[in-house]
């Protein structure tokens, strides 16, 4: 995905665009660029981080108070200046920035080439620029509407035209776009983080809507030019949430935020006295959910790991058949959706292309859809029948941390919501709610071991191959620990069920290889200890995540991270924390940019 920002007002556009791009850099950071209108169109693009663009702009900053800016995560074409946005047409002085992918760009491009257009880049975005240009006859808004009627795919775009120096036109379909409304000025962005420093009044465009902005006001319309009136709302975001404060990285900030973010996830939803869970977003569907015959859990990456834990929780606590599948697999394999199926789409961003497609596939086949999503108003949140928001606040680090615990906790609450309507007693539910109440303070306690976790990480940080092993509820935590390590430290790591190790991967174990075991005192503790011995006897170095008070574990493990005792179904909320810290320290010790790991972007809106 990419980040887009646009401005029209009376202030210089460039500083504002750069600030917005920096805030949205987590959305993509291969290349960046701006276009500013000031009599003529001035376009500056660079390869690399926004700071490279900033340096280039300092040489000769374009002046003007209407502009667009973009930070790119490459989908069509290499990371080059030519492929960086903004893209321009070859006839009318039109410049465009785009987030999304155009599915029919190849056929459109061929037709445009046949009509004499000369393309400079390999991108799908340049095709939209040319198409708008073809339709342009003095009215940019109309030309954008006409061009978008020809386009298939996803887009959030912002467009400028030299002939209309006081106009900015934006549009969306399937990619987020928010319009911040100030006093005689507008800031448009794919993300509220780029807007909130300037105004907290904003509205979102719906799919297939276009908005023409001038300093005097705006007009919103459909692609067929029917006027629509959007609802301006207060942005629920404050600057503190999106700034580093005293932390060096957003990932570390977000790891340390978890006691607070999880308290917010739970606030007002757990009724200890009556032993029940109140989830407003799914309340109206309670009867349908209770009658459901199976739950399908889906997501990608970290969200998939959380979904797996959700599967265990639903079967264990609510006694409902559940299974989890990668959204990317589910969407293409002609799945059977029996009557009474509920699909649960788990996603931080709510924009992941595969998860969205899986959700649509299941809904088309008759499933009731539930979203477990963080970003309010995101595509998955909009398209599901009902849902529960994570409420963990904006997650900016590319490596997901507080969203993972938010997802697990939300799925725990969903399971209790179901369980109490089926077989769970008030007492059992009350007990689990009491334990959930303790989770924030337990996490505080684990975070106090940050120095110890850093010291242990230093010992192993030069090892290039790691294994992460766990059983039961902590098997997905092993997967998550391995993903965290590999995505930001570039160390090769595999996660798997501890018992699976014997069926092949044990051959990898060599003298000194770090093997992380999640060895909390749950029902499979003894089995995990056996697996630890199997690794140890082959020279592996054992790093264990264990339960406070476990004196035995020290005899078996080289290093131990302790977590407070808690019921097994809740344990992933604690056992994952040392693994997040370990990955973050490993990446920092190896000198990597923790928040912007190579090749990644915060949300994957392409297949």
Which stretches of the chain bind ligand M6R, using CB under 6 A?
299-303, 347-349, 352, 355, 398-400, 483, 487, 600, 603-604
User: Nearest residue to ligand M6R, using CB?
Assistant: 301
| CB closer to ligand M6R, 304 vs 562 | 304
| CB closer to ligand M6R, 432 vs 488 | 488
Q: How far is the CB of 204 from ligand M6R (least distance, A)?
A: 18
| CB closer to ligand M6R, 69 vs 100 | 100
| CB closer to ligand M6R, 190 vs 352 | 352
* Residue 252 burial by Cβ neighbours in a 10 Å radius (0-12, 13-18, 19+): buried
CA–CA separation, 337 vs 186, rounded Å?
Answer: 46
CA–CA separation, 51 vs 48, rounded Å?
Answer: 8
Q: How far is the CB of 512 from ligand M6R (least distance, A)?
A: 27
| CB closer to ligand M6R, 9 vs 299 | 299
DSSP 8-class letter at 238: -
Closest C-alpha to 28, from 574, 603, 606, 415:
603
Closest C-alpha to 362, from 379, 340, 392:
340
399 touches 533 (CB < 8 A): no
Q: How far is the CB of 394 from ligand M6R (least distance, A)?
A: 12
CA–CA separation, 152 vs 105, rounded Å?
Answer: 8
Q: 576: which residues sit within 8 A by CB, 6+ positions away? A: 404, 405, 408, 477, 480, 481
Q: How far is the CB of 355 from ligand M6R (least distance, A)?
A: 5
CA–CA separation, 399 vs 285, rounded Å?
Answer: 33
Q: How far is the CB of 580 from ligand M6R (least distance, A)?
A: 10
CA–CA separation, 255 vs 447, rounded Å?
Answer: 9
Q: Map 515-569 to HEC letters.
A: EEEEECCCCCHHHHHHHHHHHHCCCCEEEEEEECCCCCHHHHCCEEEEECCCCHH
Q: Give me the half-sphere count of Cα atoms (radius 13 Å) on the Cβ side of residue 401.
A: 32
* Residue 29 burial by Cβ neighbours in a 10 Å radius (0-12, 13-18, 19+): buried
CA–CA separation, 414 vs 218, rounded Å?
Answer: 42
For 195, the token pair is 């807007």
The residue from 109, 253, 486, 602 that is catalytic is 602
| CB closer to ligand M6R, 286 vs 600 | 600
Closest C-alpha to 468, from 507, 490, 486, 494:
494
| CB closer to ligand M6R, 290 vs 600 | 600
Q: How far is the CB of 236 from ligand M6R (least distance, A)?
A: 19
For 166, the token pair is 């006081």
| CB closer to ligand M6R, 88 vs 580 | 580
| CB closer to ligand M6R, 13 vs 488 | 488
**602 annotated active-site:** yes
**60 annotated active-site:** no
CA–CA separation, 128 vs 76, rounded Å?
Answer: 14
Closest C-alpha to 497, from 531, 517, 530, 469:
469
Q: How far is the CB of 103 from ligand M6R (least distance, A)?
A: 21
The residue from 2, 211, 429, 584 that is catalytic is 2
The neighbouring-strand residues paired with 188 are 6, 179
Closest C-alpha to 133, from 88, 178, 165:
88
Catalytic residues: 2, 602
């Amino acid at each position: 995905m990419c980040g887009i920002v646009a401005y029209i007002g009376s202030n210089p556009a460039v500083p504002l665009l750069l600030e917005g791009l920096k805030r949205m850099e987590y959305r993509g950071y291969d290349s960046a660029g701006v276009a500013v209108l000031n009599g003529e169109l001035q376009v500056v693009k660079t390869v690399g981080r926004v700071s490279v663009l900033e340096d280039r702009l300092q040489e000769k900053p374009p002046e003007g108070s209407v502009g667009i800016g973009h930070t790119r995560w490459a989908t069509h074409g290499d990371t080059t200046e030519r492929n960086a946005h903004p893209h321009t047409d070859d006839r009318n002085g039109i410049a465009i920035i785009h987030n999304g992918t155009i599915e029919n760009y190849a056929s459109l491009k061929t037709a445009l080439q046949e009509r004499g257009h000369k393309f400079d880049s390999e991108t799908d975005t340049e095709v939209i620029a040319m198409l708008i240009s073809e339709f342009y006859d003095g009215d940019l808004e109309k030309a954008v509407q006409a061009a978008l009627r020809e386009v298939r795919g996803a887009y959030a775009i912002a467009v400028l035209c030299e002939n209309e120096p006081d106009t900015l036109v934006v549009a969306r379909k399937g990619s987020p776009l928010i319009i911040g409304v100030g006093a005689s000025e507008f800031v448009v962005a794919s993300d509220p983080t780029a807007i909130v420093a300037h105004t907290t009044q904003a509205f979102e465009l719906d799919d297939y809507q276009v908005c023409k902005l001038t300093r005097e006001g705006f007009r919103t319309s459909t692609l067929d030019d029917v006027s629509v009136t959007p609802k301006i709302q207060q942005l629920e975001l404050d600057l503190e949430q999106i700034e580093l404060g005293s932390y060096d990285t957003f990932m570390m900030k977000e790891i340390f935020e978890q006691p607070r973010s999880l308290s917010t996830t739970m606030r007002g939803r757990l009724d200890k006295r009556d032993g029940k869970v109140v989830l407003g977003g799914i309340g109206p569907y309670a009867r349908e959910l209770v009658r459901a015959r199976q739950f399908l859990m889906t997501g990608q990456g970290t969200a998939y790991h959380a979904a797996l834990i959700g599967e265990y929780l639903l079967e264990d606590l609510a006694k409902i058949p559940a299974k989890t599948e990668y959204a990317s697999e589910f969407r293409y394999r002609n799945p059977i959706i029996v009557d009474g199926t509920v699909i649960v789409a788990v996603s931080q961003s709510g924009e992941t292309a595969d998860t969205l497609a899986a959700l649509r596939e299941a809904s088309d086949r008759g499933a009731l859809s539930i979203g477990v999503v963080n970003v309010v108003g995101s595509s998955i949140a909009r398209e599901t029948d009902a849902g529960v928001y994570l409420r963990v606040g904006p997650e900016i680090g590319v490596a997901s941390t507080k969203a993972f615990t938010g997802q697990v906790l939300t799925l725990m609450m969903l399971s209790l919501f179901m369980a109490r309507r089926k077989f769970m007693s008030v007492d059992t539910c009350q007990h689990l709610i009491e334990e959930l109440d303790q989770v924030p303070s337990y996490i505080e306690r684990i975070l106090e071991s940050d120095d110890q976790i850093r010291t242990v990480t230093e010992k192993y940080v030069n090892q290039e191959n790691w294994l992460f092993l766990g059983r039961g509820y902590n098997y997905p935590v092993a997967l998550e620990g391995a993903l965290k390590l590999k995505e930001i430290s570039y160390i090769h790591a595999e996660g798997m069920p501890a018992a699976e190790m014997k069926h092949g991967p044990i051959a990898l174990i060599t003298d000194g290889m770090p093997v992380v075991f999640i060895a909390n005192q749950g029902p499979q503790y003894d089995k995990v200890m056996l697996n630890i011995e199997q690794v140890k006897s082959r020279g592996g170095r054992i790093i264990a995540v264990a339960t406070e008070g476990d004196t035995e574990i020290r005899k078996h493990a080289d290093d131990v991270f302790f977590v407070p005792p808690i019921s097994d179904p809740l344990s992933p909320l604690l056992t994952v924390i040392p693994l997040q810290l370990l990955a973050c320290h490993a990446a920092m010790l190896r000198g990597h940019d923790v928040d912007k790991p190579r090749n990644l972007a915060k949300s994957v809106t392409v297949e």
